[in-house]
Amino acid sequence: MSKRIQKRDATLSKQRIITHAVELFSQKGYASASMDELARRSDLNKAMVFYYFKNKKGLYEAVMREVLLEIQKSILEENKNYNTPQEELESFIRTYAKFAFTHPYLPSLLLKELSDSGAVIHEMLFISMRQLFALFCDILKRGEEKGCFREVQPMVVYFMVLGTLNLMVTTHSLRLKASQLDDIKVDTCANCSSEEIAAYVLDNIERIIHKEISQ
Amino acid sequence: MSKRIQKRDATLSKQRIITHAVELFSQKGYASASMDELARRSDLNKAMVFYYFKNKKGLYEAVMREVLLEIQKSILEENKNYNTPQEELESFIRTYAKFAFTHPYLPSLLLKELSDSGAVIHEMLFISMRQLFALFCDILKRGEEKGCFREVQPMVVYFMVLGTLNLMVTTHSLRLKASQLDDIKVDTCANCSSEEIAAYVLDNIERIIHKEISQ
DNA sequence: TCTATAATTAACTAACCAGTTAATTAGTTA
DNA sequence: TAACTAATTAACTGGTTAGTTAATTATAGA
């Protein structure tokens, strides 16, 4: 009920909605995210959501576009700093890991979508995801041509990277809880830092794709 | 509206509900699964759902229990036939893959839960998941002690297996679609069989954990 | 200062949803 | 067959949801 203090500012209002929507969708999922609650969180009238994004699906697509473009940008930009396939691969994995751990809504939103073959937004997610995958494939191919990587099934290796990193993020609280119980003693990597996890995933992937193995 | 033909049979009705609920929850997710639709699909009165399972969450827990016990049983039973860590690991991966591909609701339900740190059913999923993970850890540990596996971070390797296999199942239709487009040529493993994928994941995991690498 | 337009609002609707209730039917047993 | 119980039903409720509408503000340009 708090009266708006700020002046009118379309782009700012729009951004407020997106920002809170990213959080809300990643916390509750598409179906359980309520537009009433979003309006409350954003401290804006609900009609504004529909004024700017037409409907819930439109908002969700805008959210996914934002998030996917952001990670894509990070990886592509970081990639420029390297020029051997090995370095590029390392950069890809480290950058994704860093982003995923500092922006945990990304793994949450991504896994929610992928657990349902792109239930809500097939088309767009799809294109953006494919571009990232295409870069990954390109790195692998150039590594192969250079003779430093062996031939692998890129899709499987890609999911080994993304699937693992995403799950390590989304299960963080679950793994912490598991480590505190002591009926079964298992190491759930509960206190590993994102850098440790990234380094570990990277090491494993290198063992999979490198031709000469330094044991 | 079709009048029930069958005689009254409590266990059968209950099983009808579970069976259709597994399908519905895996297709739509917890929030979007409607009890009205479930009743329609099961060809039973909606009140029966609440008569047998108290509420929606109770039904969901019953569904997850059913599904998790089923996969657990498969893996444990198959495991009995082997007695070296290498064979056991191979059996674990192959059995999970086979089950996941023939019962695609499992990856869908699992990823939905894990994308949200066990949003709906923390406790139970948790215990069942941990038992499976404990078996995996045990296999790795015995392999280590025998000197045939190197020391690894079990949680990460576990997610490399489950995460990858689950994603390969849930994204199947998406990968098929991607392979049919030809703006970017990428191999999405669209026509790989479940055995091929299992073999490929297994091969990669072996490269990660085996001490002597047969190049 | 007038005016056109963009941004914002409160109040509303129609559909849907989980869950309840009270009555009814079919099997079972004494 | 009478009486008891378990299974089943139709009809309902209260709350929530996405989306709409028509009126109202603020702002910028002429």
Kindly report, residue by residue over B158-167, the tens digit of the pLDDT.
Answer: 999 999 999 9
DSSP A3: P
Report the pLDDT value the prediction gives residue B213, as an integer from 0 to 100. 47
What average pLDDT does range A187-205 have in this prediction? 96
DSSP B83-138: -SHHHHHHHHHHHHHHHHHHSTHHHHHHHHHHTTTSSS-HHHHHHHHHHHHHHHHH
Q: Show the tokens assigned to B48.
A: 């029966």
Closest CA to B140 of B155, B128, B123, B126: B155
pLDDT tens for B43-69 read 999 999 999 999 999 999 999 999 999
Report the pLDDT value the prediction gives residue B4, as an integer from 0 to 100. 47
Q: How far apart are CA B12 and CA B43, in angstroms?
A: 12
pLDDT averaged over every residue in chain B:
91
Q: Show the tokens assigned to B180.
A: 């049919």
Task: Please report the sign of the dihedral spanned by the C-alpha atoms of residue B183, residue A109, residue A89, residue A206.
Answer: negative
Task: Please report the sign of the dihedral spanned by the C-alpha atoms of residue A94, residue B192, residue A153, residue A68.
Answer: negative
How far CA A116 is from CA of A74, B25, B99, B175, B183, in Å, comes to 26, 11, 18, 13, 24
Q: How far apart are CA A179 and CA A196, in angstroms?
A: 18
How far the first Cα of chain B sits from its last, in Å, is 64
Residue B151: count of CB within 10 angstroms of its CB: 10
Please indicate whether residue A180 or residue A164 has the higher confidence score (pLDDT). Answer: A164
Indicate if the pLDDT at residue A175 is higher than 50: yes
Integer-rounded Cα Rg, in Å, for chain A is 20
Report the pLDDT value the prediction gives residue B41, as an integer from 0 to 100. 98
Report the pLDDT value the prediction gives residue B1, as an integer from 0 to 100. 35
Lowest average pLDDT, out of A72-76, A116-120, B76-80, B92-96, goes to A116-120
Indicate if the pLDDT at residue A30 is higher than 70: yes
How far does the CA of A28 sit from the C1' of D19, in Å?
20
Indicate if the pLDDT at residue A136 is higher than 90: yes
Contacts of A153 in chain B (CB under 8 A): 187, 189, 192, 200
pLDDT band, very low/low/confident/very high, at B178 (cuts 50, 70, 90) = confident
Please indicate whether residue A180 or residue A146 has the higher confidence score (pLDDT). Answer: A146
DSSP B57-71: HHHHHHHHHHHHHHH
Q: How far apart are CA B104 and CA B168, in angstroms?
A: 10
Report the pLDDT value the prediction gives residue A122, as an integer from 0 to 100. 65
B30, B115, B127: which to substitute to probe chain A, counting the most A Cβ within 10 Å?
B115
Indicate if the pLDDT at residue B142 is higher than 60: yes
Indicate if the pLDDT at residue A120 is higher than 80: no
Q: What angle do CA A135, A140, A142 make, to 5 degrees?
A: 95
Instruction: Give me the domains of chain B, ranges plus CATH numbers.
Output: 8-54 (1.10.10.60), 64-209 (1.10.357.10)
Q: Smallest CA–CA separation between B193 and chain A, in Å?
A: 13
Which segment, A114-123, B41-50, B109-118, is predicted with the most confidence on average? B41-50
pLDDT band, very low/low/confident/very high, at B13 (cuts 50, 70, 90) = very high
Contacts of B177 in chain A (CB under 8 A): 122, 126
Q: Smallest CA–CA separation between B62 and chain A, in Å?
A: 20
pLDDT band, very low/low/confident/very high, at A182 (cuts 50, 70, 90) = confident
A24, A121, A133, A174: which to substitute to probe chain B, counting the most B Cβ within 10 Å?
A174
